[in-house]
Amino acid sequence: MKTSFLSRAALALVLAAPVSVAAAPAQQPLPPFSAQDLVTLNRLGGVAVSPDGKLVAYTVTVTDPASYQRSTQLWLRPLDGKAPARQVTVDGSASDPAFAPDGSLYLLSDRKQDGKDAGTQVWKIAAPASTTPVLAAITTFKADVSGFKLSPDGKRIAVWGDIARTCPTFGGCDNDGNTTLPGPGTGRLYKDGTGFVRHWDAWETPGNYSRIFAFALGHDGRVNADTGRALDGDPANGGLVGDAPTKPFGDGGEVAWASDGSAVVYAARQADRDEPRSTNLDLWWAPVDGAAPKNLTAANKATDTGPAVSPDGQWLAYTAMARPGYEADRLVVHLLNLKTGENRALTESWDRSAGALRWTSDGKALLASAEDVLDTPVFRIDVATGKVARLALSPVKGREGAIGNVTPLKDGRFVFTRDSIEGPAEVYVGKPGSKARALTDLAASTLAARAPITTQRFSFKGANGDTVWGQITKPAGLSGKLPGILNVHGGPQGSYNDSWSNRWNPRVWASQGYAVVSVDFHGSTGYGQAFTDAINNDWGGKPLEDLQKGFAAAAALDAQIDADNACAVGASYGGYMMNWIEGNWPDKFRCIVQHDGVFDARAMAFETEELWFDEWEHGQKNYVQDPAAFEKWNPVNHVAQWKTPMLVITSEKDFRIPYTQGLAAFTALQTMKVPSELLVFPDENHWVLKPRNSLQWHQTVFHWLDRWLRKGGKEG
């Protein structure tokens, strides 16, 4: 595996010192961090810094601890620290804050207009620093605005939302373009060549797409509807038919303005019969006058995304994969000369996958985040040489955690967000190498009033003798043996790195009195592309060996871990691994929790929606072409060995790993008379997101663990 200068330095730290969350002195023991705490903890949303560097705006999601109703708030905080943060009364939702060059603040809100519901629209605060900021509606479309981006000069705005492809205006047509309802009944008819029939958690509506429109802003700051132009062109003359930003997770990071405001660059994938097998996102240059967009990256049949135009307008920076059909290929930073067409790969020699890009104000460098050995730091990439340097921004020395939303200030400081296993994202300001100062306290005080945990990093020799990393998270200050939990991450190209999660959260598990072990097995990200690729066509091979060796290494390192009184848990690929462990490591664990895991690879090959993923992972072939590749690692073939009690969790709106996979696993357990339970959410997708459902999820899981790890299998 190739390693950069950074990874070599990190690998030298084979064992990092345990860290703990500082807790205020108290006479009584602090209560543990609970599922109720996790569900109701404040959550940071969008962050924006004013052009003069004096003000930061951010949104916060707040959950009522009794009703579990969620709402969003807008907050403003002076960066000089001389005044506290103050909330702006929005009287509606608040998201996506963005400052214009003149210092005015734009945001999305479903605030009523003239006392009437108007859906989600763009709003503006002309003087956000004033003591009585006033909101004014910028858009009044019939359709909801899903997102927006201001031009660099603040004179134009790009907005996007779901609009009929035949509609020439944003939300100005009476129908949504749906071609699947021929009547007279309620059936949806998907014709030959449709492409996606359903995606993530929604049935597709052919004829309706996420579309971007550009508008001029009038002297009053409002959208001039007459100036609006669609940026996808005429489909009859080579225009794009597809979602921009892409679905289901595309956002403003896929949209950028030309420096002079004459055009918008966006990422999109052609919607056709091949889309479910295509990772071919391209970057399109769309003039604001509505002329046909130009495909800037047609030569590359893999993913091109994350556009960022240089301050002088000469260069387009973006990230690109090289292998079509592979969604976890390395994202290399490219520079495209918008005048000459020259294109060069800037970070070809850097064995990391770059995230969102941001130019420095002088145009000499790019800032990018990237996973790196359990951390997600920010790197400075020199445009002239491609040299990459890691920036130490974290207030915790030697442990970056997950850094994001980085905004450089003129005085050399950065505004950024940071989260870790110990706590969710907060906003900070500081210079690289110095101790950053927190600008927010959304959750820190709440967490300081809860019992602390410790997190320790460790490494060991895994499959092929490669160095593999993991983490141990456990309650601090407890003596004696702790039941062990082997937590297997999803992806599979992902990582249980040092970051906060609102779903599979190590802190809330450890706070129940467990020692949680996570292992970044072969296939994980942040260790170089060869390590990530190692899981392809080997789902039950090297990863299982890494998990077996890693759990043993953790127990040898930390005597508190009771490896003989342990359960294994995981979701998505981690759920697949639970089914695989059930038949291939059947005598190790007292129980298993399997969430949204593949049970039958043959059925999965024909049921999932993004076919490119499943086919790439099985040698770039479909099931008909190479059934043996799918059957080699198919859990259903080992049901005869199933014996470990299993809790199965699935959701009816999960189209990535359809709920039929969970039903089949539960049926197999019942057939084999293995103690088992099935939890089904009718209103969730691949993730459990709703507060009450999350509480039920945690209560069910913790009851299951308690039954097998503390009560000897007895119910109650």
Q: At what angle do helices 542-557 and 573-584 cross, to 10 degrees?
A: 80
Beta strands 315-320 and 332-337: pairing type? antiparallel
Query: Residue 637 — φ and ψ, nearest 5°?
Result: -75, -5
The helix/strand/coil state of 9 is helix
Q: Strands across the sheet with 229-230, in order?
A: 147-150, 156-164, 208-216, 229-230
- Cβ count near 483 (within 10 Å): 21
Listed in sequence order, the residues at least 6 apart from 194 whose beta carbon sits closer than 8 Å to its beta carbon are 204, 206, 273
Q: Which two tokens stand for residue 348?
A: 């070809």
Catalytic residue among 654, 676, 694, 698, which? 654
With beta carbons less than 8 A apart as the criterion, state whether 419 and 442 touch: no
- 654 in catalytic set: yes
The residue among 235, 245, 100 whose CA lies nearest residue 159 is 245
Is residue 686 annotated as part of the catalytic site, yes or no? Answer: yes
Order the strands of the 378-382 sheet from edge to edge. Answer: 357-359, 365-369, 378-382, 388-391
Residue 209: helix, strand or coil by DSSP?
Answer: strand
- Strands 437-438 and 426-430, how do they pair? antiparallel
CA 323, 328, 330, 335: dihedral to nearest 10 degrees? 80
Q: Give the integer Cα–Cα distance in Å for 307 and 304.
A: 8
Indicate the pairing of strand 561-571 with strand 482-488.
parallel
Backbone phi, then psi, for 693, in 5-degree steps? -65, -40
Residue recorded with tokens 């429109």? 213
Residue 82: CB atoms within 10 Å? 6
- Which residue among 199, 489, 595, 686 is the active-site one? 686
What is the rounded CA–CA span in Å between residue 440 and residue 417? Answer: 10
Cβ contact 218:228 at 8 Å: no
Please say whether the beta carbons of 588 and 581 come within 8 A: yes
Residue entry with tokens 């009929």: 164
Catalytic residue among 572, 651, 676, 694: 572
Our CA angle for 109, 110, 116, nearest 5°, is 135
Structure tokens belonging to residue 242: 């597809």
Whether the Cβ atoms of residue 380 and residue 329 lie closer than 8 Å to each other: no
Selection from 379, 387, 656, 370 nearest residue 532 by Cα: 370
Q: Select from 126, 187, 165 the least CA-distant residue to 243.
A: 165
List the structure tokens of 193. 């060549």
Burial class (CB in 10 A: 0-12, 13-18, 19+), 659: buried
Indicate which residues carry an active-site annotation. Answer: 572, 654, 686
